Structure 1
Amino acid sequence: MSKATSFDIAYYAGVSQSTVSRALRNSPLVSDRTKEKVQRIAEQLNYKVDKNASNLSTQQSGNLALLLFQDPTADESQINPFFISMISSIIRASNNKGYDLLVSFQVLTDDWHADYEDTRKADGIILLGYGDYTDYRDKLLHLEDQGTHYVRWGAARENQAGLSIGTDNYSGGAAVAEHLLAMDRKRFIFVGNISKGSPEFADRYSGFKNTIEGSGTDCKISQLDAVSSEEAGDKAAKALLSFDESFDAIFCASDIIAIGVMKRLRNSGVNIPKDVSIVGFDNIPIAEYLRPPLTTVQQNTLKAGEILVETLIANINSDAPEKPTLLAPKLIVRESCGTAREQSSED
């Protein structure tokens, strides 16, 4: 009869092999009930721990993995320029800490994490993007169950698994509202999804909307759904052109959306910023070269990369913070908003 393995125990216990390994090491990441079940089955199978393999599994690889949830093989796929600067920052921060960084583009399949988790190519994982947020949230629970060391970039939500580092999107939206109110704008449009599937966009909208409504001015706010793509921005702008009511300010949830909006409006004879002010979010490199240069909210990608790496290393060493980290955004004012004097002269 062949010698029992940890995979045999996993089969009979109904858990993963990684959970078996942690249970046999008395890891705090595994519940007492599961530990007892695994230990009982191990005894029944006369399983003996391979100490050489156990020692090997606790060794660190010196690698960190960066998983970006975008599929570059898809016909219409384009990497969000915001992530390009983020990746550069993470690579730099990893190297400064003495780690090599493995970068991989992923689609959110059931086993998207397996190559790194099971083969131990990396000591920990940094997650960027997510596509379907609901599916992504469920996958985070699996990482927690497996005891995988990871951090993610994005908005924090109550009862959500994992350590998160992200921009204070609410205050970013509030800053946009304050600026546009100071420019005497009255009729606002927010372009971006605000469902549970887009928590970052939802926070930007909340900060924007609450600030305008709390200003005491006679203003109107409307909202159009759009994912973060130029095509979605174009579609939203096309819909805006058929609106019965006028508008004088548009806040786009991302610069990519703003590009699509600006192109469609400009090609339709709308003067930016004389007819309408436009603001984006992210401050991607091309934003300052648009016609006119785009006012936007800058996310601190340099600091973000450093904190993502530092937090992941702390997680690997069991010394990670318990609360999410929020980075302050910065409003970058350019010509797409015009001036208060210019707008008021048209009223």
Structure 2
Amino acid sequence: MKEKATSFDIAHRAGVSQSTVSRALRNSPLVSKETRDKIKSIARELNYKVDKNASNLRQQQSKTLALLLFEDPTSDDSMINPFFLSMLGSITRATANAGYDLLVSFQQFSDDWHADFEDTHKADGIILLGYGDFLEYQEKLQALEEQQTHFVRWGAINESHPGIVIGSNNYQGGKNITQHLLALGHREFVFVGGADNNSPEFLERFNGFNDALIDAGIVQKHQRAKHWDAISTEHSGYNVGKALVESGAKVDAILCASDLIAIGVLTAL
């Protein structure tokens, strides 16, 4: 007797992965219409039927959350921003209190990294920490939303991606610390770090910093305060700090966009 066709048979005929077959048969928007139609046509030819019992089993909760870290250039081999490491204990405790396990891994940028955890039922939801260049990252967020993946991210609020975001008031933080330094008598400021849409959190910090200086009359309205660009690494911060020293720039207060930049700047000074 001929054995029943499986999703692996369809995948072989279609020249795609088994997970792609699974998504196509669920009408996932992550699979193009052309590929979905091709897979469904092959499924009909093979008289393939979805195993409802297996499907229901796969849809059971795993009682696990996936914490996915973005790889950051660091001075050691961890590739993890120390700020996110400091959050790990609190996240682990919160998941344990809710009766969940926590799976910690790195974000992978293969085509299906964003869907693999839920599709294979390794996790019921995803926590994203870090993102690199936000303009490039938006495509991944869009895919997560279209897949209807359960996820939360740490970062800046972005109206084009209305999903659940946990973060801090970066604008007010930048403004508060600048006002504090002004009260101490500092008048020559420079901001070190990204200040554009590629780094929205850093941009908000810069805007708070800039507005505080405008309010104090140090920067003219509609102008930008002194700014040295730097990516969020110790090495980049060190290079900026060294350049500031060598340039002889008159500066008595430096605001850094991130902790890694600050460590590098302090090392150079």
Residue deviations 1:235-279 (CA, integer Å, cap 9, x gap): 1111111335411111011222222212221xxxxxxxxxxxxxx
- Contact kept, 8 Å, 2:68 with 2:104, in 1: the verdict is yes
Residue deviations 1:18-56 (CA, integer Å, cap 9, x gap): 543544xxx9x89xx99x969985667644332102211
Cα separation, 2, equivalents of 1:241 and 1:74? 22
Q: Which residue does the alignment assign to 1:20?
A: 24
SS state at 1:101 partner: strand
Cα separation, 2, equivalents of 1:238 and 1:205? 21
Q: Which residue does the alignment assign to 1:249?
A: 253
- Contact kept, 8 Å, 1:19 with 1:146, in 2: the verdict is no
Report the TM-score when normalising by structure 1: 0.64
Q: Point out where structure 1 has 5 or more consecutive residues left out of the alignment.
A: 266-347
- Contact kept, 8 Å, 1:116 with 1:122, in 2: the verdict is yes
Q: Which residue does the alignment assign to 1:198?
A: 199
Q: Does 1:235 align with 2:239?
A: yes
Q: Which residue does the alignment assign to 2:210?
A: 209
Q: Which residue does the alignment assign to 2:82?
A: 81
TM-fit CA distance, 1:133: 2.8
In the alignment, residue 179 of structure 1 is paired with which amino acid?
A: H
In the alignment, residue 240 of structure 2 is paired with which amino acid?
A: A
Q: After TM superposition, list the pairs within 5 Å mapping 1:93-172 onto structure 2.
A: 93-113=94-114, 115-160=116-161, 162-172=163-173
Cα separation, 1, equivalents of 2:171 and 2:72? 29
Q: Does 1:226 align with 2:230?
A: yes
TM-fit CA distance, 1:207: 1.1
Higher relative contact order (CA 8 A, sep 6+): 1
Pick closer, same or farther for the CA change 1:16–1:142 going to 2, 3 Å.
farther
Cα separation, 1, equivalents of 2:145 and 2:80? 28
RMSD over aligned CA atoms reads: 3.5
Cα separation, 2, equivalents of 1:201 and 1:92? 29
Pick closer, same or farther for the CA change 1:250–1:95 going to 2, 3 Å.
same
Q: Which residue does the alignment assign to 1:48?
A: 49
TM-fit CA distance, 1:212: 1.4
Residue deviations 1:59-87 (CA, integer Å, cap 9, x gap): 10111111111279997654221111111
Pick closer, same or farther for the CA change 1:130–1:192 going to 2, 3 Å.
same
Q: Which residue does the alignment assign to 1:323?
A: none
Cα separation, 1, equivalents of 2:149 and 2:25? 13
Report the TM-score when normalising by structure 2: 0.80
Residue deviations 1:86-106 (CA, integer Å, cap 9, x gap): 111110000000000111123
SS state at 1:180 partner: helix
Pick closer, same or farther for the CA change 1:54–1:74 going to 2, 3 Å.
farther
- Contact kept, 8 Å, 2:65 with 2:126, in 1: the verdict is yes
SS state at 1:189 partner: strand
Cα separation, 2, equivalents of 1:115 and 1:72? 25
In the alignment, residue 189 of structure 2 is paired with which amino acid?
A: F
